Chains A and B, each alone.
Chain A
Amino acid sequence: MQSSNRLAAGGGWTPYAYLTPALLVFLVFVFTPVVFSLTLSLYQFTGFDSNLFRKFVGAGNYRILFADKYFWVSIRNTLYFVAASISVQVAIALFLAIIIFIGRFRFATLIRMIIFFPGVLAPVAVSLAWRRMLEQDGVINRILGGIDFSWLSSVQLAIWCVIFVSIWQWVGYNLVIFYAGLQSLDIQLLEAADVDGANWGVKINRIIVPLLGPTILLNVILNLIGSFRVFDIVYVLTRGGPVHYSEVLTTLMYYYSFSSNGPNSMGVGASIAVIIFAVVLMLGFLRVRLIRRDGGAS
């Protein structure tokens, strides 16, 4: 505190000089593309023209988007992704973290490493492997008794297969964050509960989970933001198919912008990017507010 006051008091332009490189990076790589995308969403642009702003269409791209039934499919699928990652993924990670923490297994570190391992693999590699396993003659069908079912060609199930793979890959990441939170708990609280005769159910529900509140919130917010931006797992596993029934917002944006035999409409793709940005921005503000409120309460 004292040093920053000293800087402000006697530094003049010095603090701003230190901030300039970071601000420049932010301007070039964040602010400018955001403004650019917002502007592009108001223009009709195929992507083949060097004059990006030849034809102004105002809200025309958004009208095209809202009239496309696959846009609503992608919204639905994205919400499925979000809901599953903030509930199922977090719940599994929390459950496993508590079990490992309480159980004090001999190989707890190894178990944590194994669960976390998929999180360090490239999502493309994970998706390729699961794609092979989910094929009609893949290992999953053989385990299920040699059934002849194409998981990724099913209109109803394709998106859930994608969600499953995503949860499989990232649950370890959430587990590590939860485990860190558990290790920071005051162990005397648990000992005191032991003395009072509380069983493990009570200790988990009344002590551990409430104290892990901020950590749970952190994981929920991280998963929320991450699941809105998911692309690679969906693209490699299904490319948004069959037809467009496993599209999410990001893959639909790719389809509109780059797909051969596609709509060739980067203006509409930019509109989707603006929608994603607006949602993620709101979630970011929400996170800041919740953290501040939580910090004030504590």
Chain B
Amino acid sequence: MGKKALVVLAAVVVLSLLCGAAFADDNVILRFVDGQGGNDGILASYKEIIALFEKQNPAYKVEYQQYTVTTLNEFLKPALAAGQAPDMFAVYAGPDAIEMVQAGVLVDIKPLIDNEWKKWLGPGYNFKGTNMKGGIYLTPQDALTECVWYHKDMLKKLGWPAKPFTQAYSMEEYIQMVGKAKGVGLNVMEAGFLEPWCYFNPFFNFVHQLQPSESPDMVEQAMNGEISWKQDVFRKPLEAYAKMNKAGVWRPDALNMDYQVQAFGKWLEKNSIFMWAQGDWFAGSMKKEDNNPQNPSIGITQYPTIDPKSVVSYNKNFGSDIGLYTKGKNQKASLAFMRLTNSPQAAQIFIRHGVNPAAGVDPTNVPKTDNPVFNDCIVLYNSPGRFSEIIYFNPQAVKAIGDGIGNVVLGVQKPDEVLSELDKVTRK
């Protein structure tokens, strides 16, 4: 009886496998992952773009998976190490990107970008973050302006005048706001410093404010060991961080919050007036009641000026970028998908969902949407002004800057100690 049961069971298993194989999808699956978890605008955009691609290429299906900034590498590194990475994956420009290029996991797509695609890319073709070692290894998806956002109604309650979004409040103004805000039961600023880019991106902005001119980029020079970090142009930004922290511009909790979920979530709930290191990647995630044509209540202002001689600078760049896996089995089709994400059709889809597209549009002629803060971001992105680079390729120096700023803010180290450590890292 036992043997009979085993035979029947085996037959059932074999039959199910055969049936499964018979009904298996004939489509080729292209796998694509990014780190935009929580960004509803990007999610909605890619759903539509994928549908468009699948309509144009019926033999293919695209499987898209979102991770977060912190979890993307947890997935991607084991996948790359095992030689099983997705056909396309997001890469943050900077140290991660250059290391991937050196490891040989990204295809140089420069020879594969045709003239039409190059035209769509516009300035994105020469984007520092994607151009490495003489090739182009990534294609940018979304453009960004990174600065400080605020709730207009809360600022009004504080009795503080709003400024045009191309301008900035000074550090002293933020410090003055702290006392006033306490008086009316408000907090000034949310920040998520557990994500170190919230330290070093604004730091770069502060340095670029103080430079005699937009170029040469003194951060780049210092990263390359050409100049010493021990000078006022780097010292003053560190002192500014310490001063603003001591004054309570952001609450101490900011030192132990991440940006993407905790700090941003609190700011959305109007816990504070301003949101540090905020950008148009979240334009599609604003609450409708605070961000509609009848009530455009989300304002933008630039990173604070930290010195009377500061020139207001703009952190404008491209956000997430996607690369083509060298061991992917479907490179031709994947490249076609990547090309589509930079097309004018895709750009309209991105815009409709409040995402600033990196390519496919005339940047000075982006159609207005019913998302007021997104419209402001587009105008800001195309406004003239001093450019502040945020992409650098020296991972040890970037790490040391992030940790160093944190230590100065915590009072564990003095600015000159941090600058000496930076000199050791870059000028050995």
Please tell me which stretch of B8-16, B100-108, B372-380 contacts chain A, meaning at least 4 of its Cβ atoms lie within 8 angstroms of it. Answer: B100-108
Given known contacts A50-B80, A243-B412, A263 and B399 CB-to-CB distance under 8 angstroms: yes
B252 interface residue per 8 A CB criterion: yes
Per-residue interface assignment for chain A, residues 92 to 115, with 1 indicating a CB less than 8 Å from any chain B CB and 0 otherwise? 000000000000000000000000
CB-contacts of B90-109 with A (<8 A): 92, 94-96, 99-100, 103-105
Give the residue of A238, A258, A263 whose beta carbon is less than 8 angstroms from that of B74: A258
Question: Would you call A87 an interface residue if the criterion is a C-beta within 8 Å of the partner chain's C-beta atoms?
Answer: no
A149 nearest in chain B by CB position: B252
Question: How extensive is the interface on chain A, given as a class?
Answer: 20 to 34
B72 contacts A260, CB within 8 Å? yes
B391 interfacial contact with A, CB 8 Å: no
Q: A49-B105, A50-B83, A243-B406 are in contact. Are A258 and B77 (CB under 8 A)?
A: yes
B153 located at the interface, meaning its Cβ lies under 8 Å from any Cβ of chain A in the complex:
no
Q: Which of A5-13, A151-159, A188-196, A204-212 interfaces with chain B?
A: A151-159
Listed stretches B26-34, B253-261, B284-292, B358-366; interface member = B253-261
For residues 45 through 101 of chain B, which have their beta carbon under 8 Å from a beta carbon of chain A? 69-70, 72-74, 76-77, 80-83, 92, 94-96, 99-100
Q: Which of A212-271 contact B (CB under 8 A)?
A: 238-239, 241-245, 257-264, 266
B245-282 interface with A by 8 A CB criterion: 251-256, 258
State the Cβ distance, B411 to closest chain A Cβ, in Å. 8
In the bound complex, CA of A136 to CA of B248 (Å): 13
Complexed CA–CA distance, A38 and B405 (Å): 34
Interface range, B side:
35 or more
Q: Does B327 contact A (CB under 8 A)?
A: yes
List of B residues within 8 angstroms of A155 by Cβ: 410, 412
Bound: A158/B252 CA distance, A: 12
Q: Are B103 and A150 in contact (CB under 8 A)?
A: no
Contact call A47/B70, Cβ cutoff below 8 A:
no
Question: In A23-73, which residues have CB < 8 Å from any B CB?
Answer: 46-50, 52, 70
Contacts of B81 in A (CB 8 A): 47, 49-50, 52
Do B255 and A150 touch (CB < 8 A)?
yes
In the bound complex, CA of A242 to CA of B74 (Å): 22
Chain B window 100-129, contacts with chain A (Cβ cutoff 8 Å), 1 for yes, 0 for no: 100111000000000000000000000000
Measured CB to CB, the closest approach of chain B to A132, in angstroms, equals 10
Q: How far is the CB of B321 from chain A (nearest CB, A)?
A: 14
Contact of B252 among A47, A153, A238, A264 (CB under 8 A): A153
Contacts of B293 in A (CB 8 A): none
The answer to whether residues A136 and B253 also contact, given A243-B410, A259-B73, A260-B69 and a CB cut-off of 8 A, is yes
A residues near B, CB below 8 A? 46-50, 52, 70, 135-136, 149-150, 152-155, 158, 238-239, 241-245, 257-264, 266
Would you give 23 A-B contacts (Cβ < 8 Å), ordered by A? A48-B96, A49-B104, A50-B81, A50-B82, A50-B83, A70-B403, A135-B253, A136-B251, A136-B253, A153-B253, A153-B254, A154-B252, A239-B194, A242-B255, A243-B407, A245-B412, A259-B70, A260-B69, A260-B73, A261-B95, A261-B398, A263-B399, A264-B96
Q: A243-B412, A260-B72 are in contact. List 4 more A-B contacts (CB 8 A).
A: A49-B104, A136-B253, A155-B410, A242-B255
